[in-house]
Structure 1
Amino acid sequence: MPRISSDTLWELAAAEVHSRETGGGEEDGGGEDGGESVSERTVFLMGSKAGGKTTILLRCLDRDEPSKPTLALEYTFGRRARGHNTPKDIAHLWELGGGTSLSDLVQIPISPVSIRSLSVILILDLSKPNALWGTMEKLLQAAQDQLEKVFSLAQQGQKTKSGTKHQTSVHSAARVLPKDFPDRELISPFPVPLLIIGSKYDLFQDFDSDKRKVVSKTLRFIAHYYAASLVFTSIKSESLMSKTKSFFSHLAFGLDRGKTVTSDPTKPLIIPAGFDSFTQIGSPPTSDVDITSLHAKNPKDLWKKVYERVFPQENTSEQRELKDPAKDPRYSEPQIDAMRVQKDQELDQYKRNAAKSWKGLELDT
């Protein structure tokens, strides 16, 4: 019997998904019979630790179930029928847990198979402004680095493979802004559609008005700089969750995201991509800061320095998850846990015996 490599099944699955996304094959419903094809999109959620990512995702999917802390990287999916007796569109949904501590896992949802239909949602906890910029910066940079790596691999693949269909699918993955997009020459668009969600607005609205203004204007700048949509929400507000769901459904299923625009800092922000501008946002709120004293390399760096003067950032680079999942009572397995304890004891005994033997060897020497 011929030996089958361990990744053969993965390769076949990846090829099947790629075939469906690029319109190939006979099972996509797009053949001569005129059937409708099934749309498959991928949405990757990341953001602040304990920022409400899972709860927001469940609400957007209309799932009435309690949320649990995300251990590392979790996958689920959503389906939506376009109409009666029509195929159901599928959204592949990935959620990264742990805040910034597991940012290297972005390589799993951001892959050559997913980029053609990929969107990213960044959820930032508005109630913790001192961790907001660091979280945003590290996660977006990790995602962007992985996207650039995947795009580079895709371009290299073009040089070794022929075929119009393959080339079209790779080129269509790159995000192209309309020519009339505000400040098109001054911004740095995120490589794929990006939605920034400010969570826990119910707590944020009780902040001092000046501090709310700093956070709101800064996030408006960041969202516009990356050509992203921005929405503030709270799981305690049905109205805000409804608007958040429309943005989510736009990315996951291609539905209309609505036409509501709110840029008043005294209200929850709702700004679709392309509906803001640097002129409307204005300059950084620097009532207590002399801009000339800040040695910034570019506009984004200037906003960062002003923001960090108001909200000194916590160190997020070392916030590794130190808890051992094997000792978490939520994942208790009595028989396995008992065997684990026994093996740990055997390991400790082995270490003690080994230490004694090495000490004796040193004395003999």
Structure 2
Amino acid sequence: MEKMLSIPEIATEMVEKTLMETSDNNSRTLFVVGSKSSGKTSLLYTFLDKNETPRETLVLEYSFGRKSNQKQGIEKTVCHVWEYGGKLNLLKNVLTSIPMHGVHIYCIIIDLSKVKSIWSTLELCLQSYSELEKTPEVIIIGGKYDIFKDYDNEIKKFICTTLRSVSLIYSAHLLFYSSKDPYLVKRGKEILHNMCFGNFSSFKEKNTNFGKPLMVAKGADSWENIGVPKSTIEEVKMRHLSRIPLQPEVTETDVDSGLKLMRSHPETAIDVKVALKYEELRNLTSLDISIDDYLAGIKS
């Protein structure tokens, strides 16, 4: 009697079969990492022409796309797509275990709406990038531009300077994206399509004006155009953190200490609700507000 395969076993067979059918000459690997809820899955669904409603990526998901090449369908270029949704401090361990075929594209998507976490996200993703045996094409995408565009001009200019500096150091492409802007959705899809199935030709457009969505291909920027002295990554980091310090991480000790302080209500029901709120806080991997601000929200 033939053994019934589980869903994970079937999925593994499908991935292995797809990998076996391709060679380094007609395959590419796209690895997408970055901030949670920054638009990674939405962009990939658009790129792969998926019509389903995007769902949260828990740890690691695989999909692929095919496109006929100039030989009229006799051969197809296959793009293997890996999306990582786990904790970024574990990323390098996952990244080195993923089979990479053909040309590699490393896509970092950051959440522009959370300015205090931009540097930590970039740093962790770039540290993991350095663990790769082969040097991939790198593209940095700033998601949630629909929120970022309404920020103070000085903050926008400063963030854009940081991102352009990092992109210049790592020879990365840079563009801003929003799943709520049809034009930026179309542009993001076209760029990924060109990188995964095309010839890596330079972007058709270029914009370095911080008042509009950035779009800068690698090699198309310079320190002079950015307006800062030639810098190392450590100098860029120091300059960035001098203006926008990192958001302190929320630890269980902080949460438990706060919980003891908050257990002072005469009504038990209120203490129960506070405990539930602290449990939510404990489960968050990052928070863009201070604990004090969060507690103030609970009290109100």
How does the TM-score come out when normalised to structure 1?
0.59
Q: CA deviation at 1:282?
A: 1.4
Aligned match of 2:175: 231
242, 261, 266: which one aligns with 1:309: 242
Q: Distance in 2 between matches of 1:310 and 1:94?
A: 34
Which residue identity is paired with 1:106?
A: L
How far 1:280 sits from its partner (Å)? 0.7
Percent pairwise identity: 31
Q: Distance in 2 between matches of 1:15 and 1:70?
A: 23
2:232 is equivalent to residue 299 of structure 1: yes
Which residue, out of 91, 113, 118, partners 1:132?
118
Look up the equivalent residue of 1:97 and give its one-letter code: G
Alpha-carbon distance between aligned partners in 2 of 1:64 and 1:18, rounded to the nearest angstrom: 27
Judge which range, 256-265 or 81-90, deviates more: 81-90
Indicate the residue corresponding to 2:50 in structure 1. 63
Cα 1:310–1:243 shift into 2, 3 Å = same
> Which residue of 208, 212, 228 corresponds with 1:267?
212
CA contact (8 A) 1:101 1:317 kept: no
Q: Is the 8 Å Cα contact of residues 47 and 99 (structure 1) preserved in structure 2?
A: no
Q: Which structure 2 segments of 5+ residues have no match?
A: 1-11, 253-300
1:162-201 counterparts in 2 under 5 A? 191-201=135-145
Q: For residue 102 of structure 1, give the secondary structure of its aligned residue in structure 2.
A: helix
Gaps of 5+ in 1: 1-9, 24-38, 152-173, 175-190, 285-297, 320-365
Paired amino acid for 2:180: K
User: Could you tell me how far apart the structure 2 residues matched to 1:226 and 1:213 are?
Assistant: 20
1:279 aligns with 2:212: no
Distance 1:273 1:316 in 2: 33
Deviations 1:1-22 (A, max 9, x none): xxxxxxxxx9xx9899589535
Deviation at 1:306, TM superposition (A): 2.0
| Partner deviation per Cα, 1:262-287 (whole Å, 9 max, x = no partner) | 11111100001111111111117xxx
Letter in 1 for 2:86: G
- Output the CA distance in 1 between the equivalents of 2:27 and 2:129: 21
Residue equivalent to 1:204? 148
Offset from partner CA, 1:275-318 (integer Å, 9 cap, x none): 1111111117xxxxxxxxxxxxx632222122112221124697
- In structure 1, distance between residues paired with 2:137 and 2:73: 30
- The residue correspondences of 1:113-152 to structure 2 (distance < 5 A) are 114=100, 116-145=102-131, 147=132, 151=133
CA contact (8 A) 2:89 2:124 kept: no
Distance of aligned partners of 1:134 and 1:316 in 2 relative to their CA distance in 1, 3 Å threshold? farther
Secondary structure in 1 matching 2:78 = strand
**Mapping for residues 8-19 of structure 1, pairs under 5 Å:** none
Q: In 1, are the aligned partners of 2:143 and 2:178 still within 8 Å (CA)?
A: yes
d(CA) in 1 for partners of 2:20 and 2:49?
29
Instruction: Report what 1:52 is aligned to.
Output: 39
Larger Rg: 1
How far off its partner does 1:88 sit? Answer: 2.8
Q: Is the Cα–Cα contact under 8 Å of residues 28 and 101 in structure 2 kept in the other structure?
A: no
Paired residue type of 1:304:
K
Counterpart position of 1:88: 76
| TM-score between the two structures when normalised by the length of structure 2 | 0.71
Distance 1:139 1:214 in 2: 21
Tell me if structure 1 keeps the 8 A contact 2:41–2:56.
yes
Cα deviation for residue 117 of structure 1 reads 1.7
Instruction: Please tell me whether the aligned partners of residues 101 and 318 of structure 1 are also in contact (alpha carbons under 8 angstroms).
Output: no
Instruction: Compute the displacement of 1:98 (Å).
Output: 2.6
Q: 2-side partners of 1:66 and 1:267: how far apart? A: 28
